[in-house]
C-alpha cells in the first residue's frame, strides 16, 4: 500500500480562487477592497520570504496589502503604537505581526495589542478563548488549513482517534480544539509523553507539529491512518517534514513536505482576512469558504 498524497497545493489553489471571487463581491458591496496589513520587524531571511509571499498572494486575491517593515532595533512601544494605528485604520481588516520578533520585544504583549476583530492569525486571548469555548472566531491559519485537508480526505471525523504531536499555541493546541469540535477523540502528545510510538499507533489521524526532522517513523503509524505533516525543517538535503517519508508506505493518506500544509497557511490567511472584512462591515458572505 502507498498513501494517497494529500495535495495541499491544489486544495489551496481552489481556496484562493474562492477567496478572490469573494473579495470581488465584497469590494462591490462595501465600496472598497478588503485589506491585510503585515508587520515585519528586523531582517530574518525566512520571515522576509513569508512576508513577500503574503504580499503577492493578497494582491492576487484582489485585496489591498499594507506592508510595514521596521528595523530590528525598533522598541516595543513603537511597535505597539503601530499596531494600535492599524487597529484604528478602517482600510485594514486583518493585522498580522510576523513572528518571531527580536528578543527585546515581548511577543505576547504585541499580540494582545491587536484588535481581535482583525486578528487573522488567531492568536489573541479573545480568539484563543473563543476557539476553546466552541464559539465562532478567527482561527490560526496552519491548523485551519490542516483541518480542511483532514476533512477533505475523511469527511466526517466523529469518533476518530486523533493524536496531535506538539502543543504550541500556533499549531498544536488550536489543532486539538478544531478536532475536538468535530467530535474526534484527541490526545495531545509532546516531548515528555511516555511511549509516544505506541500512542501514535492507535491514531486514525496523526498531526505532527514538533519541528524535528523525520521524527515519526513507519512503525509508529497505524496502516491506513491520515497523516498531516506540519513540520518544515531546513536540512542539508533541503526542506523536510517531521514525518519520515517512508511513512507513505504505511499511511492511507499523507501530506508531502513541501506542497502539503505550507500552501494552505497563506490561503487560510487570505480566507481569514476576507471573513474579518465581512464581519467588520456587516456584509453577508456570498462565497462559501
pLDDT grade for 238, boundaries at 50, 70 and 90: confident
The answer to whether 242 and 211 have CB atoms below 8 angstroms apart is yes
CB burial readout 19-55, b (16+ within 10 A) else e: bbbbbebbbeebeebbbbbbbbbbebeebeebbeebe
The answer to whether 106 and 94 have CB atoms below 8 angstroms apart is no
d(CA 161, CA 176): 11
Supply the DSSP symbol for 287.
S
The 10s digit of each residue's pLDDT in 63-99 is 999 999 999 999 999 999 999 999 999 999 999 999 9
Count of Cβ atoms closer than 10 Å to residue 220 Cβ: 24
User: Does pTM surpass 0.85?
Assistant: yes
User: Is 46 a residue whose pLDDT tops 90?
Assistant: no
d(CA 241, CA 209): 9
Domains, the chain, in order of start with CATH, read 31-115 (3.40.50.10860), 141-262 (3.40.50.720)
The residues assigned a catalytic role are 54, 98, 121
d(CA 205, CA 41): 36
Q: Comparing C-alpha atoms, which of 95, 109, 14 is closest to residue 54? A: 95
The 10s digit of each residue's pLDDT in 173-228 is 999 999 999 999 999 998 889 999 999 999 999 999 999 999 999 999 999 999 99
Amino acid at each position: 500500500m502507498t498513501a494517497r498524497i494529500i495535495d495541499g497545493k491544489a486544495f489551496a489553489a481552489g481556496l484562493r480562487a474562492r477567496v478572490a471571487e469573494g473579495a470581488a463581491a465584497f469590494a462591490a458591496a462595501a465600496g472598497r477592497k478588503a485589506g491585510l496589513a503585515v508587520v515585519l520587524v528586523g531582517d530574518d531571511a525566512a520571515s522576509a520570504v513569508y512576508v513577500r509571499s503574503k504580499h503577492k498572494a493578497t494582491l492576487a486575491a484582489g485585496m489591498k496589502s499594507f506592508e510595514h517593515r521596521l528595523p530590528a532595533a525598533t522598541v516595543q512601544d513603537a511597535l505597539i503604537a503601530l499596531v494600535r494605528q492599524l487597529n484604528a485604520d478602517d482600510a485594514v481588516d486583518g493585522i498580522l505581526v510576523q513572528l518571531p520578533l527580536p528578543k527585546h520585544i515581548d511577543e505576547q504583549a504585541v499580540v494582545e495589542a491587536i484588535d481581535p476583530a482583525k486578528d487573522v492569525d488567531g492568536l489573541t486571548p479573545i480568539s484563543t478563548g473563543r476557539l476553546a469555548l466552541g464559539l465562532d472566531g478567527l482561527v490560526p491559519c496552519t491548523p485551519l488549513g490542516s483541518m480542511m485537508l483532514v476533512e477533505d480526505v475523511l469527511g466526517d471525523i466523529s469518533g476518530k482517534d486523533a493524536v496531535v504531536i506538539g502543543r504550541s499555541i500556533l499549531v498544536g493546541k488550536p489543532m486539538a480544539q478544531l478536532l475536538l469540535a468535530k467530535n474526534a477523540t484527541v490526545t495531545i502528545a509532546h516531548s515528555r509523553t511516555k511511549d509516544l510510538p505506541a500512542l501514535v499507533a492507535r491514531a486514525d489521524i496523526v498531526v505532527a507539529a514538533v519541528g524535528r526532522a523525520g521524527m515519526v517513523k513507519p512503525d509508529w503509524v497505524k496502516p491506513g491512518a491520515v497523516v498531516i505533516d506540519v513540520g518544515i525543517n531546513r536540512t542539508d538535503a533541503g526542506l523536510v517534514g517531521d514525518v519520515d517519508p517512508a511513512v507513505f508506505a504505511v499511511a492511507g493518506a499523507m501530506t508531502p513536505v513541501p506542497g502539503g500544509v505550507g500552501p494552505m497557511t497563506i490561503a487560510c490567511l487570505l480566507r481569514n482576512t476576507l471573513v474579518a472584512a465581512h464581519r467588520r462591515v456587516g456584509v453577508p458572505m456570498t462565497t462559501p469558504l
